């Protein structure tokens, strides 16, 4: 199987972006022509060009816009263009399949007339198949694994950073134990976290981690609540707090780290951390990322930049999995949101998953039916395995 070609011609496929990169990564062409209908999504075209510029810098990439208006017209347009290509290159290979069908027919017709070898590439399965006169280029190959950053970039976006602090591997076990305790006592935790948030607002100390305030805190709806000793001492046991002192009038304590402070004050973080650590420890995935910020157009630093956070982004081989974690009931908006992110940044092969700590009962089966029709995987309280302790 020949792994180098002077000139490669590809028909742009905006529905399966991965298929546009296979030939370039496999044959390392000196010149790579991409026949691109004028109607394609410019963002997807830009994502492909940015990807190839970074991961195949030795290749000269040229986009050829094609007006696909009818069989005869497009066949003639391709004939004229291929005349020039034929003059300038001694070795030409064309990949057929995917993209606009009329454009495929026109290209294949002109290849047969000129005796130009044609192949098709299944990048996911690692197979290059001969169509006509392309035997020396056909065969099996080991496809390059695309990282999450590469997949997002190919789809026109980019991964910017993590929104929250990520658990350290050395702390996985204790965080899992704490997460299980919190998720099994979620209502109590929500009240406790709200109490902590009020403590921070009325803290007498000018310290990022140490807190000293009144025992009685006025929370939502002007309700007065007092320090829950069980929760404070339990969090001290888990190593998130230290120096806990609860008196009749005052309370003082210290967060053991910025990570501990953030984890206890951001109420939705524990399900996210639980799933993240469980995925890491399972060793079933090639990449696991938590609290990822995605930039919509792949250009950082712009004014009014459009960005979104994804709770978890996981990859198994070349399949990205977009996960939303909700410590509440889910609704149709939640389903639409995670499905949109998966399609936008992961492409056609991406999976969308939503995990909730609530139970979806019989009265709420509409949401599960909607999710099934949309292709969103739903994991509820009954599906969660809270045994990692």
Query: 347-360 pLDDT, tens per residue?
Result: 888 999 999 999 88
**Number of C-beta neighbours around residue 301 at 10 A:** 7
Nearest Cα residue to 46 out of 58, 57, 29, 34: 34
DSSP E strand stretches across 234-279: 241-246, 250-255
H or E stretch covering 219 = strand 217-219
Average pLDDT over the chain reads 92
Question: What sign does the dihedral 266-270-276-281 (CA atoms) show?
Answer: positive
Reported confidence tier of residue 301, pLDDT bands at 50, 70, 90: low
Per-residue model confidence (pLDDT) at position 119: 96
Yes or no: say if 179 and 189 are a contact pair by the CB < 8 Å rule. Answer: no
Query: 128-173 pLDDT, tens per residue?
Result: 999 999 999 999 998 888 999 999 999 989 998 777 789 999 999 9
Q: ∠ at Cα 350 (347, 352), nearest 5°? A: 125
Kind of pairing between the strands at 351-356 and 319-326: parallel
Decide: pTM greater than 0.85: yes
Q: At 204, is the secondary structure helix, strand, or coil?
A: coil
Per-residue b or e along 140-154, where b marks 16 or more CB atoms closer than 10 Å to that residue's CB: ebebeebebbbbbbb
Cβ-defined contacts of 264-269 (< 8 Å, 24+): 264/193, 264/196, 264/235, 264/240, 265/193, 265/196, 265/197, 265/200, 266/164, 267/189, 267/190, 267/193, 267/194, 267/327, 268/325, 268/326, 268/327, 269/164
Q: Which two tokens stand for residue 341?
A: 């992110």
Query: 120-130 pLDDT, tens per residue?
Result: 998 878 999 99
Q: How far apart are CA 178 and CA 183, in angstroms?
A: 9
């Amino acid at each position: 199987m020949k792994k180098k070609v002077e000139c490669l011609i590809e028909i742009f496929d905006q529905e399966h972006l991965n298929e546009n990169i296979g030939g370039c990564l496999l044959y390392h062409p000196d010149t790579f022509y991409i026949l691109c209908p004028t109607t394609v999504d410019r963002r997807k075209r830009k994502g492909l060009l940015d990807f190839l510029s970074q991961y195949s810098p030795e290749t000269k990439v040229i986009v050829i816009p094609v007006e696909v208006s009818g069989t005869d017209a497009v066949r003639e347009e391709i004939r004229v263009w291929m005349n020039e290509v034929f003059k300038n290159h001694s070795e030409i290979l064309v990949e057929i399949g995917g993209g606009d069908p009329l454009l495929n027919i026109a290209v294949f017709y002109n290849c047969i007339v000129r005796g130009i070898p044609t192949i098709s590439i299944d990048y996911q399965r690692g197979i290059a198949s001969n169509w006509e006169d392309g035997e020396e280029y056909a065969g099996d190959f080991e496809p390059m694994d695309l990282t999450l950053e590469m997949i997002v970039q190919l789809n026109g976006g980019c991964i910017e950073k993590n929104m929250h602090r990520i658990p350290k591997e050395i702390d996985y076990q204790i965080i899992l134990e704490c997460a299980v305790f919190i998720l099994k006592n979620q209502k109590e935790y929500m009240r406790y976290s709200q109490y902590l948030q009020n403590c921070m607002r009325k803290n007498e100390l000018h310290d990022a981690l140490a807190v000293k305030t009144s025992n009685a805190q006025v929370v939502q709806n002007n309700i007065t609540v007092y320090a829950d000793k069980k929760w404070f001492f339990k969090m001290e046991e888990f190593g998130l707090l230290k120096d806990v002192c609860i008196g009749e009038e005052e309370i003082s304590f210290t967060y053991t780290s910025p990570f501990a402070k953030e984890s206890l004050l951001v109420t939705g973080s524990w399900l996210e951390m639980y799933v993240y650590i469980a995925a890491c420890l399972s060793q079933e995935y090639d990449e696991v990322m938590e609290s990822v910020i995605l930039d919509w157009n792949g250009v950082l630093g712009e004014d009014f930049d459009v960005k979104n956070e994804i709770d978890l982004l996981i990859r198994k081989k070349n399949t990205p999995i977009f996960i939303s974690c909700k410590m509440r009931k889910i609704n149709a908006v939640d389903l639409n949101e995670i499905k949109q992110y998966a399609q936008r940044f992961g492409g056609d092969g991406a999976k969308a998953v939503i995990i909730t700590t609530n139970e979806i009962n019989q009265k709420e089966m509409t949401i599960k039916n909607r999710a099934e029709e949309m292709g969103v995987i739903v994991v509820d309280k009954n599906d969660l395995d809270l045994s990692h302790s």
